[in-house]
Structure 1
């Protein structure tokens, strides 16, 4: 094993191909979300630093080195990690995906089926795997309590109210919420747009499975209607073009032009849930870990008493099985097989 982690430089392209290469890089970036690219870049940086510290060559990809790396992650011995910090199985699997993607972008495919990786990963799963930690579903009564914690007299309160209601009623991911534009083709970083109609909002989204349309109907009360909340925010924020959800600046008295980061959705859900006392039977620390952006999607899936196929379509899932993973409490003990068996 060599001791030089530097990557071999690519030969320069002819001048007439430079513009085409730039366009190709744009398409590569468009193939994955900004969050995914940031995570992959961070994972690659950690791996290259680990290789440098251990004296391993970065190129070409060596399954044995990668196997040692994931072993270090699982055992808490990887440089750059806190002493004894062991990465979860899901984190290690994501790191593997990151390495595969980064190596592929450099024209050096990594063989994840090699025994040095596959066998080690199988052992890590057997020894360290735990049931997935799902975020708590925000149910309708929870959401109403959370809305009451927001100040309707401020721009920030109006914005946050619209975000919570649109996210819940649309079953949207946090990136989809902040990725909305007022109209079609208005920004380069938008992920969709809205159209306000008499009966509700038609949302057109570019999601993981392609483009899809979502219908968000008007509510039975103005105080909990996502359409009214969105119309009120757009009116008082004076937004007619570009990103729907933006930063509120100037001590809460002005609206900026920049799109909100999707992390703001997770922070909003957590902050409002804590303020409303949702799951008050738990400590504040435990409650803080339960709520995030996905709590809104899980809340819709768990509480909408309609045919499952409509929920599946709203969430944009390819299978009913994936939709059922979001239904936290809906079907628990609905069918009692113990009594059905005669006990």
Structure 2
């Protein structure tokens, strides 16, 4: 992506310049920055291959690029690429070239033809979670970790990146259960902090609080990252696992449980909690408090088929 130094080139001090650059980069979540860089690289490569100018890019260059993308990319990918192009131009001090009438009309036409319904992964509802847990033993360190990961991820409706970033310092145990403080999240980019309460479960085998205590005791972790990788010698590593590792663990457990692993992802625990809670009659406000959603519309999008057959009009017409 364009050099962000250009945004703040009016600052003469090199130290202040680096600080300003750091602040600008921190204005976006790390995963967003990674995506933008990847998408910008794709656009630059396209322009280089076709002898076109990437920065600043003209309207026709973007129209050609987007039209080619539409042949085999999803609408969500195209939107992200457009956003990356816009961000790169603004970061370099140029006006964004992506807001012209022609480009907006092109995107609208692509959306109408291809549709915008997201390809969501399967929600890991409570029955799925129990099947996954049933594949784990009680003695191996990796099983103790994975049990805690699944139960905390589900009960806290955590994103996979949030699970990977949890630290011992973020937790507080008391007689009510476990309080987890999220220092940063997708809906709290400014780091005000969000607290989530994880109550004790009625069944010791599926209690998220007990599961986490078991993992901390077994691993000997007293500070820093909670969920870490374990090597082949059953040694806990010093650094936090990645969010990708969280997703791979969910897929591994889904496959072991006889589920279609391709339909599950690191987000399945989060959507599974929301779906299960809705199915059990939890009110939307309490679900949003646990999930951290700010938008009711967005939260409702996670409730996958939970109420599809509840109060269904088709069941009341005498068929």
TM-score (norm 1): 0.84
Distance of 1:265 and 1:120 partners within structure 2: 37
CA drift at 1:227: 0.7
- Trace 1:81-92 onto structure 2 (pairs within 5 A): 86-92=72-78
- Residues 241-290 of structure 1 show CA distances to partners (whole Å, capped at 9, x for unaligned) of 111111112x2421111111101111111111111013xxxxxxxx2331
Match of 1:38 among 30, 34, 38: 34
Match of 1:292 among 250, 257, 265: 265
Distance of 2:12 and 2:315 partners within structure 1: 75
CA drift at 1:22: 1.3
Matched, 1:335 2:311: yes
Task: Note if contact 2:177-2:198 (Cα within 8 Å) is conserved in structure 1.
Answer: yes
Aligned to 1:82: none
Distance of 2:297 and 2:268 partners within structure 1: 18
Distance of 2:174 and 2:248 partners within structure 1: 30
Cα gap change, 1:112 to 1:341, in 2 (>3 Å): farther
Task: Note if contact 2:216-2:222 (Cα within 8 Å) is conserved in structure 1.
Answer: yes
CA RMSD of aligned residues (A): 2.3
CA drift at 1:152: 2.6
- Residues 22-60 of structure 1 show CA distances to partners (whole Å, capped at 9, x for unaligned) of 112222232222222111111111111111111111222
Match of 1:239 among 204, 211, 221: 221
Distance of 1:300 and 1:135 partners within structure 2: 14
Q: Which moved more, 1:236-245 or 1:105-114?
A: 105-114
Distance of 2:119 and 2:314 partners within structure 1: 28
Cα gap change, 1:13 to 1:330, in 2 (>3 Å): closer
- Trace 1:68-147 onto structure 2 (pairs within 5 A): 68-75=64-71, 86-147=72-133
Matched, 1:208 2:186: yes
Distance of 1:243 and 1:294 partners within structure 2: 20
Structure 1 counterpart SS, 2:150: helix
TM-score (norm 2): 0.90
Task: Note if contact 1:61-1:109 (Cα within 8 Å) is conserved in structure 2.
Answer: no
Distance of 1:336 and 1:221 partners within structure 2: 32
CA drift at 1:13: 5.8
Task: Note if contact 2:11-2:17 (Cα within 8 Å) is conserved in structure 1.
Answer: no
Cα gap change, 1:262 to 1:341, in 2 (>3 Å): same
Aligned to 1:264: 245
Aligned to 2:205: 223
Match of 2:49 among 37, 41, 53: 53
Task: Note if contact 1:199-1:218 (Cα within 8 Å) is conserved in structure 2.
Answer: yes
Unaligned 5+ runs, structure 1? 1-5, 76-85, 184-192, 279-286
Structure 1 counterpart SS, 2:18: helix
Aligned to 1:180: 166
